[in-house]
Amino acid sequence: MTLPTIPLATVRHHHLAKHRLCEPPTGPGKGADLDQMLEDLTFVQLDSINTVARAHHMILHARRGNYRPRALDRLMAERRVFEHWTHDASAIHIDNFAHWRLKMARDAETLRGRWKEWRRAGFEEKFDEILKRISDHGPCCSSDVGENEQKGSGGWWDWHPSKTALEYLWRSGELSVTRREGFRKFYDLTENVIPPEHLNQRYLPEETIQTACSTALDALSFATSGELAAFWDIITPQEAKDWCAEQLAKGDLIEVMLETAQGKPRRSFARPNVLDTPLMEPTKRIRILSPFDPALRDRKRTERLFGFHYRIEVFVPEAKRRYGYYVFPVLEGDRIIGRIDMKAERARDTMAVRAFWPETGVRMGSGRVRSLQIAIERSAKLAEVSELEFAPDWLR
């Protein structure tokens, strides 16, 4: 049986629309508007690198030009989001908390064994001590514990036992992040952080599997079972594969072939009515994206959709270019037109633009250059710097 083929432009259009990158980036970017944005995106990755602004702030700013970091802080204080792990540390809409119990239970089992090999010994003996300390004295951060323990000298992940215990108790659900100061997490007992209506909600594993697959497909429109499992990273690839088979047998999924930028069609799943809903046409506005934007996080999918090869600090042989560390993808309409190397030098109150590399076939006429400069100006406002400084050879 010949499967229907979905044109690449349609696949890309759906992807951008579902990630809220077709619409103009207008709106207040705070309160109910930001809450809805987070509900639609389901999560944004948290990252400490602050070259322009931290990843989560750049993700939200790309969709709402008026967004400022304190708006996310307020939603956290109002418990509209919680912090936990997807593929990485993320801010997740609170409506998903009860489904995270499956991941927490699984992490409690897998991390205990894994961290016995990866971390320093003795972290399990610290559990009761840390829980009692927080119960008696309130929230704490990693620098508040392990006063008499040898601090690590082996880099970012060389944690002392009490720091490991804090992270384990967070990942397994006994503690939750109550706030951040800078990028430092403060932990409290989960019952003190998560609102009762979410804390007391329970789902069976099969209900969470259903929700994880269904919401991932809603966010992607077209996906393999592996992509559905990887979207949330709270269920296994086999669970996603079994779900797809069941839905396909019931007629609630269909198989399609997707055109790709490489020319090799890709077999995927979709809902039968996926093409029935009209989508907003992508705005032509240029946006500077975080490398961890949810629309780009899956690097292989990004290559299939946009023909855009992105790795942090990478040599691209076909382009004979070596890009600097943490360059930013640049989106115009439904096309990634290049990547930019820029840094907010806050001591000088300046956004220093070092280089922009257009993608092959992208012509940088005066109108496009001006649109890119306006996008840089918007990023400077997010970074709270006033001046722009362009290297003499910034346009490569």
Q: For 31-50, what is each residue's pLDDT tens digit?
A: 999 999 999 998 999 988 89
Q: What percentage of the chain carries pLDDT values higher than 90?
A: 80
Handedness of CA 337, 23, 385, 297 (dihedral sign): negative
Q: Give the pLDDT score at 158.
A: 54
- Residue at which a domain ends, from 178, 194, 210: 194
Whether pLDDT at 293 is above 90: yes
Work out the number of other CB atoms within 10 angstroms of the CB of residue 150.
9
Task: Give domain status of residue 293, yes or no.
Answer: yes
CA–CA gap between residue 247 and residue 86 (Å, rounded): 24
Q: Which residues contact 105 (CB under 8 A, 6 or more apart)?
A: 172, 173
* Chain mean pLDDT for the chain: 91
Q: Which helix (H) or strand (E) holds 192?
A: helix 190-193
Whether pLDDT at 315 is above 60: no
Confidence tier at 155 by pLDDT (50, 70, 90): very low
First-to-last C-alpha distance (Å) of the chain:
48
- Residue at which a domain ends, from 142, 161, 194: 194
Instruction: Pinpoint the alpha helices (H) of 251-312.
Output: 299-306
Whether pLDDT at 114 is above 90: no
CB 58 within 8 A of CB 288: yes
Task: Give domain status of residue 205, yes or no.
Answer: no
Does the predicted model carry a pTM greater than 0.85? yes
Domain that holds residue 140: 119-194
CA–CA gap between residue 104 and residue 29 (Å, rounded): 31
The predicted-structure confidence for 350-366, as pLDDT tens digits, reads as follows 999 999 999 999 999 99
Task: Give domain status of residue 102, yes or no.
Answer: no
Task: Give domain status of residue 351, yes or no.
Answer: yes
- Residue at which a domain ends, from 173, 194, 215: 194
Tokens of 284: 């032509």
Q: Give the pLDDT score at 142.
A: 86
Rg of the chain taking only CA atoms, in angstroms? 22
Task: Give domain status of residue 331, yes or no.
Answer: yes
Whether pLDDT at 153 is above 60: no
CB 228 within 8 A of CB 246: no
CB 345 within 8 A of CB 310: no
Task: Give domain status of residue 104, yes or no.
Answer: no
CA–CA gap between residue 33 and residue 19 (Å, rounded): 15
Task: Give domain status of residue 42, yes or no.
Answer: no
Domain count, the chain: 2
The domain that contains 290 carries what CATH number?
Answer: 3.40.630
Task: Give domain status of residue 80, yes or no.
Answer: no
The domain that contains 144 carries what CATH number?
Answer: 1.10.10
